[in-house]
Structure 1
Amino acid sequence: MKLLVLGATGPTGRHLIDLALRAGDQVTALVRDPAGLGEPAGQVTVLTGDATSRHDVSAALAGQDAVVSALGRGTSVVADDLFARASAALIAAAQETGVSRAVWLSSFGVGHTLAWASVPQKAIYRTLLRSIYANKEIADDAIRASGLDWTVVYPTRLTHGPARGTYRADDRLPMKGNPTISRADVAAFMHRAVHGSEWIGRSAVISD
């Protein structure tokens, strides 16, 4: 598969790149700073650009089979409108290039998933993460309304642990406390989802 990865230099994106390369995918990464890719850069088509620019995303998406977005704000709780702008750029680029398959990383607690959260989760989502989640909700709604073959992924609290391969994935999961999932497992789910049709037009909640 010819795969465009957005957010490739972030921790989840790096796992995605590694998985895709091991699977034999032809990988293109649109990044602000190619040095951030490190060692895998030699095996990847690296394009320098901005994921919030329709022009840059369109140029990177042309000729691809699908796009996977692992964009994030790291430890920042300020969205800076990243997700809304990136989703708009991706939707416009996909319509321009005719590439319809898109897997989009969000966070559990965004939008409709907030109603399913536990009490401890809601306390965090409504305070510390309120701003960034509001921007993610705009992006997620836009992706779902785009007409693309989309999948929106809602992981619980992310960790840097190793892939366990035993995570749960469903349209809705019961929540207790503040469960976690490793970024490596999130990347594995996203890579599997983009290669299949099971999750097209669905929002996936995933957690250990």
Structure 2
Amino acid sequence: MAHILVIGASQGIGLETVKAALAAGHRVRAFARSAGTIALSDPNLERFPGDALSRPDVATALDGVDVVVQALGVPVRDLFGPVRLFSDATTILVPAMEKAGVHRLVAVTGFGTGDSRTAIGPLQRLPFRLVFGRAYDDKDAQEIRIRQSGLDWTLVRPGVLTGGPATGRYRVLDRPSSWTNGLIARADVAQFIVGEIGQGAHIRRAVVLISHPLPV
């Protein structure tokens, strides 16, 4: 069993990853500014209030862990202004991991980041850029920083996220020729992340995750 640091653990994919990792028997350090509000009860859970943009917080949180899951998000209201969270946090995290000797990183970005941008359908491209353009430009910088590192990284690019329980019926698209957008439950993304921690089948690779393709 691994000792996992989940950054961005209080909501979304981060929280679902905490739940899935605990269910699999891992020890979890749940890192978020609001970590104290995480309403889970498990002896293997450690709530760690911290700021992903604080070098001391990140360095302290890395002590004794085996794996880092970076699952940051920004509120919808922040999508229409400058976005720097993803790249700035990664610029802090990567050298801190290298210094601490923590080599395994699973980072959640999104479909449309990096070289998956060309796979966005023509009807989706304009609204995608209008709503998510600033955030995804920053996620591009996040991915570049991770790829340039010496870490054993996996980039997880989910499609359009939905709620609900894990279904276990999702597709792992690991070849650029197969990349397409689609729907996927956050809980299924979390199940993939926990499985990847155990198996390491996609080290130094980017994968797209979907359950159901979107209409073209």
Could you state the TM-score of these two structures normalised by the residue count of structure 1? 0.92
Matched position secondary structure for 2:69: strand
Instruction: Summarize the Cα distance change of 1:35–1:101 in structure 2 as closer, same or farther, 3 Å threshold.
Output: same
- Cα root mean square deviation, aligned: 1.6
Q: 1:112 aligns with which of 93, 112, 115?
A: 115
Q: Within 1, Cα distance between the matches of 2:197 and 2:15?
A: 16
State the shift of 1:114 in Å: 0.7
Instruction: Give the letter aligned to residue 114 of structure 1.
Output: R
The equivalent residue for 2:31 is 30
Partner of 1:66: 67
Normalization by structure 2: what TM-score? 0.89
Deviations 1:42-87 (A, max 9, x none): 6411222111222211111111111011111143424631101111
Residues 106 and 79 of structure 1: is their aligned pair in 2 closer, same or farther, counting only changes over 3 Å?
farther
> Cα deviation per residue 1:7-52 (whole Å; 9 max; x = unaligned)?
1001211111111111111111122123331234764112221112
Q: Which residue does the alignment assign to 2:214?
A: none
Number of residue pairs matched?
206
Partner of residue 156, structure 1: 159
Structure 1 pair 36/121, CA: closer, same or farther in 2 (3 Å)? farther
Structure 1: runs of 5 or more not aligned: none
Identity of aligned residues (%): 36
Q: Does 1:133 align with 2:136?
A: yes
Q: 8 Å contact 1:170–1:206 — kept in the other structure?
A: yes
Distance 1:28 1:94 in 2: 15
Moved over 3 A (4+): 40-43
Q: Unaligned regions of 5+ residues in structure 2, if any?
A: 212-216
SS of residue matched to 1:128: helix
Q: Is the 8 A contact 2:9 2:35 kept in 1?
A: no
